Amino acid sequence: GLLKNPLVAVRSSATAEDLPDASFAGQQRTFLNIAGETNLIEAVRECWASLFEARAIFYRQEKNFDDFKVGLAIPVQKMIQSKASGIVFTCDPVTGEKNKIIVDAVYGLGELIVQGEVIPDHFVVDKENFKIVKKIISDQKIMLIKKNGKTKKYSVPSKWQKKQKISDKEVIKIAKIAEKLHEHYFFPQDCEFAVDNKRRVFFVQTRPVTTLKDFSKDKSTSEEVKEIKKAEDEISDKKIILEGAAASPGIGWGKVVLIKSKKEINKVKQGDVLVTSMTTPDFVPAMKKVSAIVTDKGGLTSHAAIVSRELGVPCVVGTEIATKILKNGAVITVDGGKGKIYLGGLKIKSKIIEPNEISHGVNANLMLNTATKLYVNLADYSIAKDVAKKNIDGIGLLRAEFMMAEIGTHPKKIINDHKKNDFIDKLAEKMAIFCSEFKDRPVVYRATDFKSNEYRSLKGGDLYEPIEANPMLGFRGAYRYIVNEDVFSMELSAIKKVRNKMGFKNLWLMIPFVRTPEELMQVKKIITANGLTRSASFKLWMMAEIPSNVILLEEFLKVDIDGVSIGSNDLTMLIMGTDRDNSEVATIFDERNPAVLWALEKIIKTCHKNNITCSICGQAPSQYPELVEKLVDYGITSISVNPDAIERTREIIYAAEAKLVNKK
């Protein structure tokens, strides 16, 4: 053909891979440097067949997956002849820190990292400024490359062995690409990359990180923490006999059992310490039994590290000499959080995992991670600190009205009294509290949506506001920003101060009650004129809460925005023709009405088609758990709920996503 049998990589993408409590690391096979139609077909067949290798069947049984409900797609990619390659995480896979990007790199093809045969260079990049804050350069003696038509291991020339595998500039470039993938999928990513002879960077795989940790538990009340403290006190007097990379936190002790190959895994007994050169997927049955794992090779992205974190087994990798100096039957203690191995055992139980670092399980709702983002609706800055400690992905609705009411004076009076700067400072100060507590998580600020009757209640308000028969449908939202541009500009100045002077780049803006695409365009021009431009760190959303938003959503999206958040309260009112503030018709007001559900589905699917974020921030998800399942089924990107609904909503989302996977 035209491509003259190019070299390709044949990879696996299974429907059951990378679920919140199962990574399926290494369970399906990958074939590199495949050339020719016959070889390609054979590689595809072998890739499919790997679904039914013994290790894969065992793993699925352990995770309660039906063997015949796991589908497997086979991506065929151009083969990159890697000068260097590696893995990048958009959060720290060991500690769960979301403000760090981890980059591991080696010479040649990247299979040796996953297999753990080499220890990669290790870089930590700060997401705030994309600066390298930590760098560990390894000594690499072998590499995997394609030569004379065959993929083989070769010795790295001695002059290159201790050198940095990729440049600092390349590390930062890779980190930035990975963060874009994180933003695209709305979830921390585990990516594989390759750098070719021309120093071009290619990303060949991305998947969600499956071993995120939760830091929201109060350590001081945990029995497990007391156990950890006892263990730490006891080992402080012990002799350190070996060190490596801290790959999976916790402390475990027991008898050493040296394993040279998968044929010997039957030697492993409950509570032993598994010591090996490097684990493979065939080792998983043994890994489940042990109190700790120690390997010669591998980094934080090796099979041993990933699976140990998933299983909750303390693990130290990359010791280089564990199999040489540790003897069968010797009793040792392994501190997987510090990367240290001590001589002798402990008086306490054989394995302790720090409670704030256990991989989540189905019943631990605080630790569940979902593809659908879970945001919170907030207004009161006094509770921001406590809410930010919960398992929450950001603020999906930061209401301006509470802050405006605290300021207490009508914005027009503030302008006439020449106190604009005071207003901007006060509003910015309150916004900054939320941004500071939520750190790198987004804070979506909805511009003030007071109705005229609410504005009249502010000091001086009766001088500036009309008396309207139905303020709910009156002078509010985007149209007010256009008419009273000077007032809206003060809000924008406060946002700009928080972002540019205070340095909180996680503050975004959402425009409420936009009646027409033309209104949205005018508001967008005002925002730009005030020095706020859409970027990777500044997103512009609009509320979808009017029937025209549903009917003309394609036209609204042409204005170029980053997200849509459904205001189910007003949308239900306007579709059903019921005043949500009128107790006489309160029983008719129901977000589960088929007409409202039709509108929700249409908004979500239109956004999905146009690759636009879609969220919901009305009362409905907090009030009706069954609606959450429908929203997930429709494909919503995120759901924002009241603080008291966070835990139960995360559980419902998790269960709904699991159902979708099983359906497939």
Q: 247-305 pLDDT, tens per residue?
A: 888 889 999 999 998 889 889 999 999 999 988 877 888 898 899 999 998 877 677 88
Q: pTM (2 decimals)?
A: 0.50
The neighbouring-strand residues paired with 543 are 565
Q: What are the C-alpha distances in Å from 263 to residues 268, 298, 327?
A: 11, 21, 19
pLDDT, mean of residues 531-554: 96
pLDDT of residue 204: 87
Q: What is the pLDDT of residues 11-41, one digit of tens each?
A: 777 654 444 444 444 456 677 778 888 888 8
pLDDT of residue 55: 56
Hey, which CATH number is domain 219-357, 3.40.190.10, 3.50.30.10, 3.20.20.140, 3.60.15.10? 3.50.30.10
Select, from the ranges 3-12, 197-206, 222-231, the one with the highest average predicted confidence (pLDDT): 197-206
pLDDT of residue 66: 63
350 or 219: which leads in pLDDT: 350
Minimum mean pLDDT among 188-197, 425-434, 630-639: which range? 188-197
Minimum mean pLDDT among 234-248, 338-352, 453-467, 533-547: which range? 338-352
152 or 168: which leads in pLDDT: 168
pLDDT, mean of residues 451-466: 90
The pLDDT of residue 436 is above 50: yes
Query: Whole-angstrom Cα distance, residue 627 to residue 591?
Result: 9
Q: How many CB atoms lie within 10 A of CB 234?
A: 18
Tell me which CATH code domain 372-663 carries.
Answer: 3.20.20.60
Q: What are the C-alpha distances in Å from 605 to residues 564, 633, 635?
A: 12, 11, 7
Tell me which CATH code domain 1-79 carries.
Answer: 3.30.1490.20
The pLDDT of residue 228 is above 70: no
Hey, which CATH number is domain 84-209, 3.40.50.720, 2.40.50.100, 3.40.91.10, 3.30.470.20? 3.30.470.20
pLDDT, mean of residues 81-101: 86
Select, from the ranges 44-48, 407-411, 644-648, the one with the highest average predicted confidence (pLDDT): 407-411
pLDDT, mean of residues 180-208: 87
The answer to whether the CB of 204 falls within 8 A of the CB of 223 is: no
Average pLDDT, the chain: 85
pLDDT of residue 377: 92
Signed CA dihedral, 585, 591, 593, 596: sign only: positive
| pLDDT band at 420; cut points 50, 70, 90 | very high
pLDDT of residue 551: 97
511 or 579: which leads in pLDDT: 511
pLDDT of residue 651: 86
The pLDDT of residue 150 is above 60: yes
pLDDT of residue 660: 80
pLDDT, mean of residues 189-195: 92
pLDDT, mean of residues 492-519: 97
pLDDT, mean of residues 527-544: 96
Minimum mean pLDDT among 90-99, 126-135, 527-536: which range? 90-99
pLDDT of residue 364: 37
pLDDT of residue 367: 56
Structure tokens at 308: 């140990």
Structure tokens at 277: 């050169």
Q: Please give the sequence-ordered ranges of beta strands (E in DSSP) within 479-588, or none if there are none.
A: 507-511, 540-544, 563-566
pLDDT of residue 68: 62
Q: What is the pLDDT of residues 41-74, one digit of tens each?
A: 888 888 878 777 665 675 566 556 666 666 678 8
pLDDT of residue 104: 94
pLDDT of residue 215: 42
89 or 70: which leads in pLDDT: 89
- In 3D, which of 516, 510, 529, 454 has the Cα closest to residue 479? 516
Domain(s) of CATH 3.20.20.60: residues in the chain: 372-663
- In 3D, which of 580, 553, 93, 572 has the Cα closest to residue 359? 93
pLDDT of residue 4: 63
The pLDDT of residue 134 is above 80: yes
| Eight-class DSSP state of 459 | B
DSSP 397-433: EEESHHHHHHH-B-HHHHHHTT-HHHHHHHHHHHHHH
pLDDT of residue 25: 45
Domain(s) of CATH 3.50.30.10: residues in the chain: 219-357
pLDDT of residue 82: 84
pLDDT of residue 511: 98
Structure tokens at 238: 């012990």
> Rounded to a whole number, what is the distance in angstroms from the first to the last CA of the chain?
35
pLDDT of residue 200: 94
The pLDDT of residue 124 is above 80: yes
So which residues are the catalytic ones?
303, 617
| pLDDT band at 224; cut points 50, 70, 90 | low
Q: What is the pLDDT of residues 297-355, one digit of tens each?
A: 887 767 788 778 767 789 999 898 999 999 999 999 999 888 999 999 887 666 665 54
Q: What is the three-class DSSP state of 111?
A: helix
CA dihedral 365, 368, 374, 375 (to 10 degrees): 70
Query: Whole-angstrom Cα distance, residue 418 to residue 138?
Result: 62
pLDDT of residue 460: 93
The pLDDT of residue 544 is above 90: yes
The pLDDT of residue 392 is above 60: yes
pLDDT, mean of residues 364-393: 84
Number of H helices, E strands in the chain: 23, 30
The answer to whether the CB of 444 falls within 8 A of the CB of 394 is: yes
Q: Please give the sequence-ordered ranges of beta strands (E in DSSP) within 519-605, or none if there are none.
A: 540-544, 563-566
Query: Whole-angstrom Cα distance, residue 375 to residue 570?
Result: 20
The answer to whether the CB of 145 falls within 8 A of the CB of 151 is: yes
The answer to whether the CB of 311 falls within 8 A of the CB of 252 is: no
pLDDT of residue 664: 55
pLDDT, mean of residues 98-102: 88
- In 3D, which of 273, 317, 282 has the Cα closest to residue 296? 317
Torsion angles phi and psi, residue 207, rounded to 5? -155, 160
Domain(s) of CATH 3.30.1490.20: residues in the chain: 1-79
The pLDDT of residue 584 is above 50: yes
Minimum mean pLDDT among 75-79, 347-351, 441-445, 576-580: which range? 347-351
pLDDT of residue 470: 84
